[in-house]
Amino acid sequence: MRMPAGKRISYYRADSASYQADLVNQLELDEVKYTMTADLDVAVKGVIASIFEEEWEEPEKGCGYELAETVHSVEKTKRAFRLVIKREKRKQRELFGNGEGKYFHYAVATNWLEEDKNSYEVIRWHNHRGQAENFNKELKIGIGMERMACGQTHANVVFFRIGIIAYNLFIGFKRLSCLKSRFKHTIAIFRWKMVQVVCRIVKHAGSIVFKLAVDIKKLELFKDIRTKSFEVSLCPEG
């Protein structure tokens, strides 16, 4: 992996494909905080079965699932790690009697200390990994980073950094100048709803005027975005 000079990875979260002793050992060596989905193998199922019933707790009353945790290790890991387990009651009867029991279980291995993140915070932080795919897709499709510009590494680095800057500017624009309801809009949706608007440019009394074919509600929205963007431009740097 190529990392810029002076930069390091501080946090890592991944699915069960990363649940390997070599990777866990390397993350520990590099002092990286990690979470990864643990395989529900025989050893993990045995650990789950050994948890006392009174140790299972709902993080929020009525949320529909319970959490518990223990300490675990795999054969070649050099250090033990926390194993946070989530269990949820099966809502359907077993059709084939495969002995899975009345609960679904989901386990997360982590080296976050309990004083830094409790069981619920570990699960919540780990589940945010799914958003990375959406960020990557938006960068690739929305900004046009599916393919690099050429076969030269340095030129592609410049090209990609420009794409990252454009993406971050768009995110900043949404959060600083738009309503909260627009925060989840992708670039394509934003372009469709906010940019691709019929407009006529006319000159009147020595001024250039944009005549927008929109209702009063959207016109007020545009005016609000313009005002907020102007206020942001007045903020001191940093």
Determine, yes or no, domain membership for 138.
no
pLDDT digits (tens), the chain, 238 positions:
566 677 788 999 999 999 999 999 999 999 999 999 999 999 999 999 999 999 999 998 888 999 999 999 998 999 999 999 999 988 766 655 555 578 899 999 999 999 999 999 999 999 888 777 778 888 888 888 888 889 898 999 999 999 999 999 888 888 888 877 777 788 888 888 777 777 788 888 888 887 877 778 877 888 888 888 888 777 766 4
51 and 154 in one domain?
A: no
Determine, yes or no, domain membership for 23.
yes
- Separation of alpha carbons 117 and 123, rounded Å: 9
Determine, yes or no, domain membership for 134.
no
Q: 129, 160, 182: which is the final residue of a domain? A: 129
The CATH number linked to 83 is 3.90.350.10
120 and 15 in one domain?
A: yes
82 and 121 in one domain?
A: yes
Write down the pLDDT at residue 174: 85
Write down the pLDDT at residue 126: 94
| Number of structural domains in the chain | 2
Q: 100, 129, 158: which is the final residue of a domain? A: 129
**Which of helix, strand or coil describes residue 142?**
helix
Determine, yes or no, domain membership for 173.
yes
Q: 129, 153, 176: which is the final residue of a domain? A: 129
**Which of helix, strand or coil describes residue 194?**
helix
Read off the amino acid at residue 58.
E
147 and 220 in one domain?
A: yes
Domain extent, residue 24, equals 11-129
149 and 107 in one domain?
A: no
- What's the pLDDT tens digit per position in 112-156? 999 999 999 999 999 888 777 778 888 888 888 888 889 898 999
116 and 22 in one domain?
A: yes
15 and 93 in one domain?
A: yes
- Stated as kind and residue range, the H or E segment containing 164 is helix 153-177
Write down the pLDDT at residue 231: 81
Strands 103-110 and 81-89: antiparallel
